[in-house]
Amino acid sequence: MTSENLVYLIALPLFSSALLMLLGRKADKWGHVFATLISASTFVVGAMEFFAMIDRPESSRAVTQKLFTWISVGTFNVDAGLLLDQLSIAFVLLITGVGTLIHVYSIAYMSHDRDRRRFFAYLNFFIAAMLLLVLGDSYLNLYVGWEGVGLASYLLIGFWNQKPEYATAAKKAFVANRVGDFGLSVAVMIAFANFGAVSFIGIEEKVGGASEAALTAMGLMLLLAAAGKSAQFPLQAWLGDAMAGPTPVSALIHAATMVTAGVYLITRSNFVFDNAPTAQLAVVMVGTITLLFGAIIGMAKDDIKKALAASTMSQIGYMIMASGFGPAGYAFAIMHLLTHGFFKAGMFLGAGSVMHGMNDEVNMRRYGGLAKFMPITSITFGLGYLAIIGVPPFAGFYSKDKIIETAFNAGGVQGVLFGSAALLGAVITAFYMTRLMLMTFFGNKRWAEGSEPHESPFLMWAPMAVLAVGSVASGYLLYSGKAIVKWLAPVVDKDHHEHAEFLPPIVVTTLAVVAVIIGVSIAFIKYRGELSERAPSEVSIFTRVTRRDLLQDDANEFLFMRPGQKLTQLLVKTDESVIDGAVRAVGSSALGSARGMRKLQTGYVRNYALLILIGALVALFAALVVTL
Amino acid sequence: MGFQSPALEYGALAPMLIIFGAAIIGVIVEAFLSAKVRAPIQLAISLGAVVLSLSQVWRLRGSATTTAAVNSVVIDGPVLFMQGTILILSLFALLLIADIDAFAAQASAVPGSNEEARALESGKIQTEVYPLTLFAIGGMMLFPAANDLITLFVALEVLSLPLYLMAGLSRRRRLLSQEAALKYFLLGAYSSAFFLFGAAFLYGFAGDVSLAGIRSAVSGGPGNDIFLIIGMVSLSVGLLFKVGAAPFHSWTPDVYQGAPTPITAFMAAATKVAAFGAMLRIFYVSLGGAVYSWKPIFTAVAILTMVVGSVIAIAQRDIKRMLAYSSIAHAGFLLTGVIALNQEGLKASLFYLASYGIATIGAFAIVTLVRDSSGEVGDLNRWVGLAKRSPAIALIFSLFLLSFAGIPLTAGFIGKFTIFTAAYESGNIAVVVAGVLSSAVAAFFYIRVIVMIFFSDPVEDTVTVTIPSLYTNLTIWIAAIATLALGIFPAPFLDFIATFATFTR
């Protein structure tokens, strides 16, 4: 089926973004309202498409739209085309829905910023790019969106670029993403070399004929791309610094949508991974490492946003891990992605609300006892908290429980290993989130002087409330009657695999709940009483390493930055002495000969005439010699 | 034996007849109308004639090849294309000429005399420049269309004589201008002698002055080969002089510098089209059979011209002299199109001529704008930091320079690329290598100028960029747009040229 309306999803926010940027300060008065309305309109278009899709029979739910022929060289044709299927619609609704809520929130949050219009222009640009990412019908079209969201992320992290460390954070994110983008471009090349096509459908048709080595290579490159965009090991270091951006950005881009693009990429490429078990194993391992890595960092963070960022990294680790389990896991990866979109965005907005009331303080050691002063924020945040640690029946319970179950069901030693890691992650998650709750909303007041915490305005708490409803109910809604599994099956599980059970579901659920209880209890014991305003300095080596983000920056510095600098210096030296030297030599010798030859230009007609005569005679002589 | 009046094909000759007719009307206007009204009327006549002639060229396009005026003129695809190009370039040159203060009040007055002062005071202007331009245009249009050596020579003189005069009409620095005119005239006459000498020998060789006759003699007639070679070489010297190829180029910088800038623009752009048109016709049509005799010489001349033009340009301190050397280098690049001797070479040459011509007119138009109290400023050192004062003009000038340098996305790149490709495919690798290398050297001095204009601080000086008049503005902008458009979307224009690019033998 084709649809003529898909393009509006991208065109509307793109147009709005361009308009706000081109009009400049003229649009300052109404730009934020306009951008929010546009974002809401894209949500309406997305919702209409969703309802239309539900009405169609399962076999013809996907719709496409060809925009124009992008590249046509010989037999190689790439159309700029859009594809809206069961997978992309889930993303469209998440992006436009949560996106619109965050637009609303930002109207109030950014109201004191003189560049609010520019902020909204970037937000709209992000929405357009992210929609292109999930709607593109080929890897090349996806790539355009992929780069677009990278740019939007860069611009928004560095939105307050008057502070050098914020600009540095933006650059760090950009560089880490570049490494991942390299993987994506290589993956596209592998696809083209092996299949002669870059569209999802085109590759899927030919995937049977490809060698496993090629598919594994492509899968690993896609994984590299996903690791860059989704802050997975070993490209995870940028996400914590990305919190330099305004908090709504952290909520939208660095929690709910953009950072989950890696999960989308792997799920979308299911036809590649399902035929490349080695690459799948790599995916699971990356996810597992990251989910523990992020969780451990989260334990040591005192900065509320960085703690949430570490938690995001960890939760995306869960999703990546799930997507590595193939058809058994894709649906749960996406389900966790959606529920996470609600509760994490809600908590980030909550953190923004707290900062709003506390003079932009981010250190949780200077919070404490805020529940009384910010009742709505603490309730909405609390609902998100219950969802993320996986307390039944909140949203995160369903999604995380299913991922842990899938991990165990992978079978054998691997299954036990990954399942236990996922359980351990759940324990740590419960610990650090409880710690965050206690330090922020309960306990003794440790405020900086002059803090007068107050509840945020309606425009800020309303979106938080909506997201809190999602944090409560989305898990049940998505899972009741295996709704999400059936819905996504035509995309990610065409052959309807039967999934083996390693442990009965009830056992896994019990284990998960026990894990939560353990984590919460430890945190209660440790952070129950009075806390100091300063972080304790006499701590174990383990804590110190954790505070340094498990040495992620030190590792990058040692492995890449220093050797890179050495190489650059060497190249500069070569450039200066060898290449520039050669160029300068050519230049000066040309100038020298020019000065010499210029002497022939005497200005006297007699000399010129003589030169002509000599020239003619030489030419004549030469012609005679050549011919005769 | 009664006298039979020759039959003239007025339709095919219309473009040239219109121009010559308008030139004669212009002379009459000079004689009978008062000085005050002459300038606008002359401009209107000239522009009208050029536009009308252009419309006739457009009408003739695609029609079958005809010979006209008792076989002395041939009207085929390349001729029509070159006539069209010459007319368009002339149109812009006329617009520059119309900014009339480049020309002397009374050219016959001795520089510095009281007579000159009086003429300046009375506000007179030498409007003869218009009919002179028209005669030159007519000669240029006839030059590539000539079908025998006599007509060729007549056309050569008709286009040259007005140019000699016009070169001496500068309003400022008149001595330099007059010196340039005299040099140009003397050397031009000298080279015409070579040309005529060569024509005579070719007649001696073939027993015929028509190009077709020479062609059949070359391809296996009974002629004397020594006569052929002497004739061919001498004729070439005359032609190479006109296009400014080394070592026959010495006049170019002196004359380009001395002549009034609009005339320099006209010479540099339109004369080159006409001269290369004639050269292409002679060598493609008549002397193609003797290619092994002339190709080594032309290769050597082409390489020498590229090298001399590119290298000496580096040491120039005057913008007009620098552009003169640049035009010499371009003559070298164009010669590779002659050497290629294939359909592609002809097509590439036509494209190159058009794109080079338009950028040249534009560049000289900008030269007329950079002034101080005493007129145009040629000294490159005083162009330093120009971009700070007039970013738009500086940007467009840089565009023309980049096109001359052959940087991608400009017409110059496509021109160089197509012409080198054609030469390479015809097996002339040496000339292509030399061409590419000297292009690199040439890029050095073009970019040096851009760096001076953009990245140096302006010296405390009185150089200003005058606000261009409508005429000059139009010229500059159209030239800039054409240069960019031909660089980015060359395909339609190249396809258009392909419909013209076959000589009738």
Average pLDDT over residues A358-367: 83
Give, as one character, the DSSP assignment of residue A363. B
Range A320-345 average pLDDT: 90
Cβ-based neighbours of A88, under 8 Å, separated by 6 or more? A134, A135
pLDDT of residue B460: 67
Q: How far is CA B361 from CA B215, B463, B495, in A?
A: 36, 22, 24
- Residues from chain B contacting residue A608 (CB–CB below 8 Å): 183, 187, 250-251
Q: Which amino acid is at A556?
A: N
Query: Cβ contact (<8 Å) for A620 and B230?
Result: yes
Report helix, strand or coil for B6: coil
Contacts of A29 (CB under 8 A, 6+ apart): none
Q: Check residue B501 and give its pLDDT.
A: 82
Cβ-Cβ contacts under 8 Å for A354 (sequence gap 6 or more): A304, A367, A370, A374, A377, A440, A453
Where residue B82 falls among pLDDT bands split at 50, 70, 90?
Answer: very high
Identify the domain containing residue A515 by its residue range. 276-542
- Are A494 and A445 contained in the same domain? yes
The structure tokens listed for A361 are 């303080």
Verify whether the Cβ–Cβ distance A608 to B241 is below 8 Å: no
Domain membership of residue A518 (yes or no) is yes
Residue among B228, B229, B292, B321 with most chain A CBs within 10 A, to mutate = B229
| Shared domain check, A415 and A290 | yes
- How many A-B residue pairs are in contact by the CB < 8 A criterion? 91
d(CA B505, CA B489): 32
Q: What pLDDT shows up at residue B491?
A: 84
How far apart CA B251 and CA B244 sit, in angstroms, is 8
Give the whole-angstrom CA distance, residue A474 versus residue A582.
Answer: 67
| pLDDT > 90 fraction of chain A, expressed in percent and rounded | 26
Token pair of B309, please? Answer: 């033009």
Nearest by CB to B311, which of A590, A603, A612?
Answer: A590
Task: Look at residue A500 and tell me whether its pLDDT is greater than 80.
Answer: no
Whether residues A411 and A495 share a domain: the answer is yes
B464 contact A CB<8A: no
Written as six digits, the tokens of B74 are: 């041939």
Q: What is the pLDDT of residues A268-303, one digit of tens each?
A: 999 999 888 899 999 999 999 999 999 988 888 888
Q: Is residue A452 part of a domain?
A: yes
Residues in chain B within 8 Å Cβ distance of A594 = 311-315
Radius of gyration of chain A (CA): 29
Which pLDDT band holds residue A224 (cuts at 50, 70, 90)?
A: very high
- C-alpha B281: how far from chain center: 16
State residue A70's pLDDT score.
73
DSSP characters for B85-148?
Answer: HHHHHHHHHHHHHHSGGGB-S-TTSPTTSHHHHHHHHTT---TTHHHHHHHHHHHHHHGGGB-B
Report which of B155, B138, B273, B278 is spatially closest to residue B211, judged by C-alpha positions: B278
Rounded distance, CA B373 to CA B426, Å? 53
Residue of chain B whose Cα is closest to the Cα of A601: B250
pLDDT band at A371; cut points 50, 70, 90:
confident
- Say yes or no: A390 and A506 in one domain: yes
Copy the structure tokens of residue A26.
């003229």
- Cβ of residue B451 closer than 8 Å to a chain A Cβ: no
Same domain for A597 and A495, yes or no, is no
* Closest Cβ opposite residue B225 in set A590, A611, A627: A627
From the candidates B303, B314, B445, which should be mutated to test the interface with A, based on the most A CB atoms within 10 A? B314
Q: Based on the fold, state whether residues A470 and A599 are members of the same structural domain.
A: no
Residue B393 scores a pLDDT above 80: yes
Mean pLDDT of A375-392: 90
Q: Are strands A63-73 and B464-465 parallel, antiparallel or unpaired?
A: unpaired
Residue A301 confidence (pLDDT): 85
**In this structure, are A362 and A456 located in the same domain?**
yes
| B194 in reach of chain A (CB within 8 A) | yes
Chain segment B303-346, per-residue pLDDT in tens: 999 988 988 888 888 999 999 999 999 999 999 999 988 888 89
For residues B331 and B99, the model is more confident at B331
- Chain A touched by B306 (CB under 8 Å): no
Report the pLDDT value the prediction gives residue A73, as an integer from 0 to 100. Answer: 65
Measured between beta carbons, the chain B residues lying within 8 angstroms of A619 are 233, 236-237, 297, 301
Does residue A64 lie in a domain region?
Answer: no
Of A487, A515, A542, the position where a domain reaches its end is A542
Could you say which of A608, A616, A620 has the minimum Cβ distance to residue B251?
A608
- The answer to whether residues B138 and B23 touch, using CB atoms and an 8 Å cutoff, is yes
| Smallest CA–CA distance from B236 into chain A, residue | A616
Mark whether A530 and A559 lie in a shared domain.
Answer: no
State how many domains chain A has.
2
- Cβ contacts (< 8 Å) between A583 and chain B: which residues? none
Place of tokens 């949500």: A43
Beta bridge partners of B148: B210
Residue in A with minimal Cα distance to B304: A615
- The answer to whether the Cβ–Cβ distance between B229 and A608 falls below 8 Å is no
Separation between Cα atoms, residue B440 and residue A174, nearest integer Å: 36
Question: CB-CB: which of A590, A603, A624 is closest to B444?
Answer: A590
Contact B195, B237 (CB under 8 A): yes
Q: Which two tokens stand for residue B338?
A: 């002659």
Domain boundary among A542, A568, A583: A542
Chain B hits for A587, CB-CB cut-off 8 Å, are 444
A511 lies in the same domain as A567: no
What average pLDDT is seen over chain A? 86
B-interface mutation test, from A583, A586, A598, most B Cβ less than 10 A away: A598
Interface mutation target, options B182, B233, B438, chain A, most CBs of A under 10 Å:
B233
Please tell me whether residues A443 and A590 are part of one structural domain.
no
Distance CA A89, CA A263 (A): 15
For residues A203 and B439, what is the distance between their CA atoms, to the nearest angstrom?
Answer: 46
Which chain B residue lies closest to A620 (C-alpha atoms)?
A: B233
How far apart are the CA of A605 and the nearest CA of chain B, in angstroms? Answer: 6
Q: How many angstroms separate the first and last alpha carbons of chain A?
A: 77
B236 near A CB under 8 A: yes
Which chain B residue lies closest to A588 (C-alpha atoms)? B314
Which residues is A72 bridged to in the sheet? Answer: A77
What span, in angstroms and rounded, lies between the C-alpha atoms of B476 and B479? 5
Q: Is residue A587 part of a domain?
A: yes
Q: What is the least distance, in Å, from the CA of A268 to any CA of chain B?
A: 38
Nearest to B350 by CA among B424, B407, B301, B419: B419
Given an 8 Å threshold on Cβ–Cβ distance, is B292 in contact with A627?
yes
Which strand ranges, in their side-by-side order, compose the sheet holding B464-465? B375-376, B370-372, B464-465
Of A169-173, A213-217, A287-291, A445-449, the range with the lowest mean pLDDT is A445-449
pLDDT at A74: 64
Pairwise CA distance, residues A404 & A426, whole Å: 9
Residue B1 confidence (pLDDT) above 60: no
From A483, A515, A542, give the residue that closes a domain.
A542
Q: Which of A588, A595, A608, A613 to mutate to test the interface with B (most CBs of B within 10 A)?
A: A608
Residues A418 and A301 placed together within one structural domain of the fold: yes
| Mean pLDDT value across chain B | 89
Query: Are the Cβ atoms of A591 and B314 closer than 8 angstroms?
Result: yes
pLDDT band of residue B505 (cuts 50, 70, 90) is low
Look at residue A69 and tell me if it is in a domain.
Answer: no
Report how far apart, in Å, the C-alpha atoms of B314 and of each of B116, B359, B367, B399 are: 37, 20, 18, 19
Q: Quick one: A392 and A520 in the same domain?
A: yes
What is the three-class DSSP state of B463?
coil
Predicted pLDDT at B8: 83
User: Which tens digit of pLDDT belongs to each residue from B129-144?
Assistant: 999 999 999 999 999 9
For chain B, the first-to-last Cα distance in angstroms comes to: 32
Would you say residue A411 has pLDDT above 60? Answer: yes
Binary contact (A611, B247; C-beta < 8 A): yes
Provide DSSP, A394-432: SHHHHHHHHHHHHHHHT-HHHHHHHHHHHHHHHHHHHHH
CB–CB of A615 and B237 under 8 A? Answer: yes
B267-278 tens-digit pLDDT: 999 999 999 999
Gap from A624 CA to chain B (nearest CA, Å): 7
Q: What percent of chain A shows pLDDT beyond 70? A: 98
Is the pLDDT assigned to residue A501 strictly greater than 80? no
Contacts of B444 in chain A (CB under 8 A): 587, 590
Instruction: Give Dmax (Cα) for chain B.
Output: 79
Task: Assess if residue A568 is contained within a domain.
Answer: yes
Mean pLDDT of B421-434: 88
List Cβ neighbours of A479 (8 Å cut-off, separation of 6 or more). Answer: A335, A398, A399, A402
B197 — pLDDT class (breaks 50, 70, 90):
very high
pLDDT, tens digit (0-9, with 9 covering 90-100), for B9-39? 888 899 999 999 999 999 999 999 888 888 8
Residue of B nearest to A625 (CA): B293
Chain segment B433-469, per-residue pLDDT in tens? 988 888 888 888 888 889 888 888 777 666 777 778 8
Look at residue A95 and give its three-state secondary structure: helix
Q: What is the pLDDT of residue B221?
A: 67
Burial zone of A465 (CB within 10 Å; 0-12 exposed, 13-18 middle, 19+ buried): middle
Percentage of chain B exceeding pLDDT 90: 53
ipTM higher than threshold 0.85: yes
**Mean pLDDT of the region A80-97:** 90
Is B180 an 8 Å CB contact of chain A?
A: no
Closest to B181 (Cα-Cα) out of B115, B255, B236 = B255
Residue A202 lies in a domain: no
What are residue B73's phi and psi, to 5 degrees? -130, 140
Chain A residues closer than 8 Å to B226 by CB: 624, 628
Closest residue in A to B300 (Cα–Cα): A619
Tell me which chain B residues have a C-beta less than 8 angstroms from the C-beta of A615. 237, 246-248
Q: How far is CA B195 from CA A616, B152, B154, B191, in A?
A: 11, 10, 11, 6
Contact present, A35 and A123 (Cβ < 8 Å): yes
**Given CA atoms B398, B400, B404, B408 in this order, what sign does their dihedral have?**
positive
In a domain, A347, yes or no: yes
pLDDT 10s digits, A591-628: 787 777 777 778 888 888 888 899 889 988 888 888 77
Partners of residue B103 on adjacent β-strands: B170
- Substitution target from A583, A584, A618, A627 for chain B, most B beta carbons within 10 A: A627
Q: What is the pLDDT of residue A538?
A: 74
